[in-house]
Amino acid sequence: MHSNFVTPPDIVETVLIVDATDDQLAALTERVKTAGQPYNVYFYHTDSEYRDWFDRVALRADVIIYADKNDPLEYFNK
């Protein structure tokens, strides 16, 4: 575990990605390394038993991306 200490003017965007494939995860890892801003990225698979965890993270997320419907990499390429 680690903690983020965030000071003005930075804002750390929280993204929840649901059902990402291994290829999408690899591409996102590379993209976020070179992103011009920090992100907190959470991953969840709908076959997981941690539905309560998903519900808590979903409330905190700035955006939720369902990877089976939208390519999450497009979000980070904006």
Q: Is 52 within the bounds of a domain?
A: yes
Tell me how many domains the chain contains: 1
Q: Is 8 within the bounds of a domain?
A: no
Q: Is 12 within the bounds of a domain?
A: no
Q: Is 4 within the bounds of a domain?
A: no
> The tokens of 16 are what?
């929840």
Residue 39, classed as helix, strand or coil, is strand
What pTM did the predictor assign?
A: 0.90
Please, which residues have CB within 8 angstroms of residue 19's CB and are 6 or more apart in sequence?
Answer: 44, 45, 46, 66, 67, 68
**Tens digit of pLDDT per residue, the chain (78 long)?**
788 898 999 899 999 999 999 999 999 999 998 888 889 999 999 999 999 999 999 999 999 999 999 999 999 887
Q: Is 31 within the bounds of a domain?
A: yes
Q: Is 50 within the bounds of a domain?
A: yes
Q: Is 41 within the bounds of a domain?
A: yes
Which residue range is the domain that position 51 belongs to? 17-73
